[in-house]
Amino acid sequence: MPYPLNDTQRAMRQVIRDFCRNEVMPGAAERDRTGAFPAEIMRGLGELGAMGITVPDSCGGLGLDTQTQLLAIEEVARADAALASIYTAHLLALEVLVPYLNKEQKGRFIPDMASGKALGAFALTEPGSGSDIGGMDTVARRDGDAWVVSGSKTFISNAADAGTTVLFAKTDPAAGFRGISAFVLSRGTPGVSFSEPQEKLGIRSAPTHTVYFDGARVTDDRVIGELGTGGKMALSALNRARIDIAAMANGIAQRALELAVEYAAARVQFGHPIRDFQAIQLMLGQMDAELEAARLTAWWAAAEKDSGADLRRAGSIAKWVATENCGAIVDLAVQVHGGAGYMRESEIERLYRDARILRIFEGTSQIQLLGIAATLAATFDRSGEVV
């Protein structure tokens, strides 16, 4: 990496790297084939402290910085993108719970998540609303001392396996975005059911489900923050979590570059390894440059996050740069492999499928660009000079 790591960061990266080399990478292809959920591996990450890297130590986490978390995510994604998707979905739920739960709620819900005993899920997207969260149809109506939830969510990562789910529903349907509230649900809540795992192009062992709420009762002690502020919570959490998706993209891109370099050294044409040919060198050079640019951008955004800065711009830039670059890098890696990279038994074929979702979930690339453009007015003063 083109920047210094402190001793804690180096140690954490090495611990996660060794775990991934020994426990994650060997079974990744088989999990992709079968769609098997890697429950034991997730527990192993929890035992390493990886499930709560930035969670304060008062809540059972490690209390470390976001840059350390990015190192862990990148190592996991390098070994298995599907596992990284499960991991980042868990971290997304924590981006709501850590800042917005009250003290009693934090003690009740966060320690088990930080230790890996409870997996997190983030239930926001609906069949009719994605980026337009104000258009959600799921409602929570007051009934005595509880809220009764009706509706459905879709494409929800970790849904059926989560011990703790952050749910967004309208408590004031007439208020649109300002009528959204957030709740925390535990596994086994009556009135909650799930579809079968949805069939996907990639990240196949990271199951997503449609979640159905049929009169599920949620008591007041599970309301997160103030009623009507759930929309703001969701957008704030997504701004912060987009940096994690950047790290996931960088991990996939790192593996693609490694595979391309190895193949270019081993594949011989016209009596020479193909790495000797300028056409291959140009592709490898582009891959390396795009990966390091994406890493630096993610590292900058992580520092912005830990400084308390507004992340609408930095989070979107980090995600857009890393995910777009990852798509280009993986595509070039397939090109370096030629026909071999198109075959199902090739690892690069799996990376090609896994990488495609990154430009869609947690805000499409186009949504990121719109968000970046919306912040430009705050970046320049009236004279046109950079503020």
Q: 230 is written with which tokens?
A: 């759930």
Task: Provide Rg for the chain, Cα atoms.
Answer: 21
Nearest to 244 by CA among 111, 50, 114, 108: 50
Could you identify the residue written with the tokens 């449609």? 210
Among the listed residues 74, 304, 347, 362, the single catalytic one is 362
List, as one string, the DSSP characters of 251-312: HHHHHHHHHHHHHHHH-EETTEEGGGSHHHHHHHHHHHHHHHHHHHHHHHHHHHHHHT---H
First and final C-alpha spacing in the chain: 30
Length of the chain: 387
Let me know if 349 is a catalytic residue.
Answer: no
| Phi-psi map region of 198: left, alpha, beta (phi>0 left; psi -120 to 50 alpha) | beta
Count of alpha carbons within 13 angstroms of residue 137, beta-carbon side? 10
Partners of 122 in the beta sheet?
166
User: What one-letter code names the amino acid at 47?
Assistant: E
**Which residues belong to the active site?**
362
